[in-house]
C-alpha cells in the first residue's frame, strides 16, 4: 500500500501569514493538496503539523485526516518533519509519498504517475523530474525508512537523495508544477487561481 506524508509544519516566515491556511479556490492551500492526493487514490495520509497547530488540525479533522505534531518544528528543518511522518506510518504501508503542504500546484496526474511507476518497477526510490530537476512528491519504500530515521539534524532529504542517486528511478512529470511551492506573497499571487 502507498501512503502519503504531507509536510505542513513550517512557520511561513517569508509568506508573513500561515500559508497552509491561505485560500486556494474554495478551500485552503492544505485542503487542496489533500484533495489532489485523495483523487489520485491515496487513502492513508498523515500531515505533519507544527506552526498554527490548532488551526491546521481543525482543518484536518473536518477532512478526516490524521496528523502528527513535530514538537521541534521551530528549531529544525524539513528532515525532522519527515522523520515524524515516517514514525506515524502504519504497518501495511510499503511505500510513502513525500508531499509538501505548500504545493497546491501539485497535479493528480503527477501523483498517479509516481504511484504507477512504483507498481510497475517496485523501485524503492522514485522521484519526479522536470528538465532534469527533482521535484515533489517523491516516493520512498520501506527499505530506506530506517536510514532516513537515523539521519542527523544537520542533514537534509536532499543529502539522502544525493547519497542514493544511483538508486533513484526518475519519472518525467512533464510539468513544472512538481517544482513549484509557495514561499512568498509573490509566489502566491502569481499562481493563485
pLDDT (0 to 100) of residue 16: 66
Residue of 25 and 185 predicted with greater confidence:
25
Region of poorest pLDDT, from 31-40, 128-137, 181-190: 181-190
Q: What is the mean pLDDT of the chain?
A: 89
Nearest CA to 107 out of 23, 173, 192, 11 is that of 173
Burial category of 111 from C-beta neighbours within 10 Å (exposed 0-12, middle 13-18, buried 19 and up) = buried
85: Cβ–Cβ under 8 A, 6 or more apart, which residues?
A: 5, 6, 7, 46, 48, 68, 96, 98
What's the average model confidence in pLDDT over 53-68?
87
pLDDT band at 12 (very low <50, low <70, confident <90, very high): low
pLDDT of residue 80: 92
pLDDT at 10: 79
Please state the rounded mean pLDDT for residues 10-34: 84
What domains lie within the chain, and their CATH numbers? 2-191 (3.90.550.10)
- Kindly state the percentage of the chain with pLDDT values over 70: 96
pLDDT tens digits, one per residue of 67-82: 999 988 866 778 999 9
The residue that leads in pLDDT, 174 or 94, is 94
Element (H, E) at 7: strand 2-8
Q: What is residue 135's predicted lDDT score, i.e. its pLDDT? A: 87
Amino acid at each position: 500500500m502507498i501512503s502519503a506524508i504531507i509536510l505542513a509544519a513550517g512557520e511561513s516566515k517569508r509568506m508573513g501569514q500561515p500559508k497552509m491556511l491561505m485560500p486556494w479556490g474554495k478551500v485552503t492551500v492544505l485542503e487542496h493538496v489533500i484533495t489532489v492526493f485523495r483523487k489520485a487514490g491515496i487513502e492513508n495520509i498523515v500531515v505533519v503539523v507544527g506552526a498554527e497547530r490548532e488551526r491546521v488540525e481543525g482543518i484536518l479533522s473536518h477532512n478526516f485526516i490524521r496528523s502528527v505534531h513535530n514538537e521541534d518544528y521551530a528549531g529544525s528543518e524539513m528532515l525532522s518533519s519527515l522523520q515524524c511522518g515516517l514514525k506515524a506510518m502504519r504497518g501495511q504501508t510499503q511505500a510513502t509519498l513525500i508531499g509538501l503542504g505548500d504545493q497546491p500546484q501539485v497535479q493528480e496526474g503527477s501523483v498517479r504517475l509516481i504511484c504507477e511507476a512504483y507498481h510497475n518497477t517496485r523501485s524503492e526510490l522514485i522521484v519526479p523530474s522536470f528538465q532534469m530537476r527533482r521535484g515533489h512528491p517523491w516516493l520512498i519504500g520501506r527499505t530506506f525508512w530506517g536510514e532516513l530515521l537515523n539521519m542527523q539534524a544537520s542533514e537534509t532529504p536532499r543529502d539522502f537523495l544525493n547519497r542514493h542517486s544511483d538508486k533513484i528511478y526518475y519519472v518525467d512529470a512533464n510539468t513544472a508544477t512538481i517544482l513549484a511551492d509557495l514561499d512568498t506573497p509573490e509566489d502566491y499571487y502569481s499562481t493563485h487561481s
